[in-house]
């Protein structure tokens, strides 16, 4: 799979591949100039959650599930998840990843 070669560096035995992708957004983005190009647009900016952090995690979870489904793979096929955030607050990505059991 991958070998750790530094504190924050891994080296893959085989090049990683991207087999699927998805985009899940709130109503504001869904009404913007890119409307029609998203996989899911929620009318609820909190995605049914009590806080923005939980909403961000739910959004990431839905995007992950949709990407896996679109790719024709199963969640169990994933070996690693790499995620990021424009504001470097990756808590939502971390929670969504933990829930995926990867």
> Strands 40-41 and 24-25, how do they pair?
parallel
Nearest to 64 by CA among 52, 53, 74, 51: 74
Percent of all residues in the chain with a pLDDT value above 90, rounded to a whole number: 36
Q: What is the pLDDT of residue 93?
A: 67
pLDDT on residue 19: 86
**Residues 54-76: what's their mean pLDDT?**
90
Average pLDDT score, the chain: 84
Render pLDDT for 28-40 as a digit per residue (tens, 0 to 9): 999 999 999 999 9
- 45 pLDDT band (50/70/90 cuts)? confident
Q: How far apart are CA 19 and CA 64, in angstroms?
A: 12
pLDDT at 52: 83
């Amino acid at each position: 799979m991958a070998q750790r070669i530094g504190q924050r560096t891994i080296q893959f035995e085989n090049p990683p591949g991207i087999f699927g992708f998805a985009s899940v957004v709130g109503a504001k983005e869904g009404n913007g100039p890119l409307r029609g190009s998203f996989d899911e647009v929620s009318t609820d900016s909190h995605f049914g959650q009590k806080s923005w952090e939980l909403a961000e995690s739910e959004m990431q979870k839905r995007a992950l599930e949709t990407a896996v489904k679109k790719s024709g793979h199963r969640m169990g096929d994933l070996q690693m998840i790499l995620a990021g955030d424009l504001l470097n607050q990756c808590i939502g990505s971390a929670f969504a990843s933990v829930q995926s059991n990867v």
